[in-house]
Amino acid sequence: MQWWCVFPASEYGDTLGPLKLAEPEKSFFSKRNIVQIGSLVINNSYFLSFLKFCPTPSLNCYACPWANFACPIGSLQHFMVIERIPYFLIGFFVLVGALFGRMVCGWFCPAGWFQDLLYKLRTPKIRFTSKILNKLGFVNLVLVAMLIPYLTKEHWFSKICFMGLLEGGIPLALSDPEVRMLIGTFFYVKIAITVFFLSLAVFIKRPFCRFFCPLGAVYSLFNRVSLVRLEVSEGCIQCNRCQEVCPMDIKIYEDPNSLQCIRCLACASCAFVEVKVGGRSRGVTGKSS
């Protein structure tokens, strides 16, 4: 089931719905934005590059000249190529998933932050939801990041990942003339893939995270059992303001621990949405009443 709706950006005002939510997404200096920028800096600040034996929880290209950590999906593909079971990596996924679920996508992923920024551009927006396309991340995980690399001995997800071009390809090509000499047709194919995802992100909320990201698919499996969870109380009047502020376009009252929820906590500023950490309530500043 899918539906489309075009609406102007100005509809993201305060007047929608009877509840006035706090405005976690509007300011560039919102708590989440600052954490996301911090994550981008920590992931790519070069000075911690001795930690490259350890994967980062988020999608961050380790081909970036300044990357400090390994890309978890890149590492997963590597283990598929060398035909070994990645116990360390599975343990890492389980640990991060058990603690945070998809909160990593909402707070720490540079790819997600970049799409959030693009969506803030003042253009008409397209609301697009699809339960079938939501499963594409799992298909990508099993096929493109695991099975096909195992069979072909090539890192196929890396070849289509736009972060590879943004953080690795472009900086390396700009900084090294010898690398520039090596540029071939595939570079332009990759530019086309990147332009496709980035332009989509201007009009649709986080298209890559929602429909393509294999890492998000991994963490989504833990959303229902992770330490951080959401709860919607019975008084919810389903005004859909939660969907308006949600970067993943979710109606949180339908399923508070939906596989798609990235725990950005934008909806938690509503009086009926509660954040639970280990079963205990945690307050969110600016909550409406």
Binding site for other proteins (CB under 8 A): 52-55, 61-63, 67, 69-71, 74-75, 78-79, 82, 84, 86-92, 94-95, 97-99, 154-155, 158-159, 164-165, 168-169, 172-173, 179, 182-187, 189-191, 222, 225-227, 276, 278-279
Least separation in angstroms between residue 224's CB and other proteins is 10
> Which of 159, 287 has the CB closer to other proteins?
159
128 strand-pairing partners: 4
Whole-angstrom Cα Rg for the chain: 19
273 strand-pairing partners: 232
> Which of 226, 243 has the CB closer to other proteins?
226
Q: Contact 218/256 with Cβ under 8 angstroms?
A: no
Angle between helix 110-119 and helix 31-43 axes, rounded to 10 deg: 130
Least separation in angstroms between residue 98's CB and other proteins is 4
Report the alpha-carbon distance of residue 128 to residue 5 in Å, rounded. 7
Least separation in angstroms between residue 184's CB and other proteins is 4
Least separation in angstroms between residue 234's CB and other proteins is 20
| Closest to 213 measured CA to CA, from 55, 72, 43 | 72
> Which of 238, 281 has the CB closer to other proteins?
281
232 strand-pairing partners: 273
> Which of 101, 247 has the CB closer to other proteins?
101
Least separation in angstroms between residue 118's CB and other proteins is 20
> Which of 21, 259 has the CB closer to other proteins?
259
> Which of 30, 49 has the CB closer to other proteins?
49
Least separation in angstroms between residue 51's CB and other proteins is 9
Long-range contacts (CB closer than 8 Å, 24 or more residues apart) made by 91-95: 92/55, 92/57, 93/218, 93/219, 94/222
Report the alpha-carbon distance of residue 151 to residue 229 in Å, rounded. 38
> Which of 68, 129 has the CB closer to other proteins?
68
Least separation in angstroms between residue 83's CB and other proteins is 12
> Which of 138, 187 has the CB closer to other proteins?
187
Angle between helix 185-203 and helix 110-119 axes, rounded to 10 deg: 60
Least separation in angstroms between residue 283's CB and other proteins is 18
